[in-house]
Amino acid sequence: MPPCITIDPQVCGGRPIVAGTRMRVSDVLDALASGVSVEELLADFPTLVREDVNACLAYAARAVDHMVAQPA
């Protein structure tokens, strides 16, 4: 897990968040997917830094990188 991402059962229902905030990884990804630029995201949420956004993207990349089982 990227160091900027944490999971705490007591914060945001245990969903992955940017460390030190209540900003969920899914919120960052949803914003980017809807066309918000990184610069806009950083301007709208001054507690975020570019490293946090990159960590969210890295977290998502790892989450979808799963083994594909091939039939024998």
- How far apart, in whole angstroms, are the C-alpha atoms of residue 68 and residue 55? 24
Q: Could you tell me if residue 71 is inside a domain?
A: no
Question: In the chain, pLDDT over 70 holds for what percent of residues?
Answer: 97
The pLDDT of 10-39, averaged and rounded, is: 95
Number of domains making up the chain: 1
Amino acid at 33: A
- How far apart, in whole angstroms, are the C-alpha atoms of residue 69 and residue 48? 38
52: CATH: 1.10.10.10
What contacts 8, CB < 8 A, 6 or more positions away? Answer: 14, 17
Supply the range of the domain harboring residue 41.
5-64
Chain centroid to CA 65: 15
Residues recorded for the chain: 72
Q: Could you tell me if residue 42 is inside a domain?
A: yes
Q: Could you tell me if residue 69 is inside a domain?
A: no
The pLDDT of 7-25, averaged and rounded, is: 94
Res. 69: pLDDT tops 90:
no
pTM: 0.84
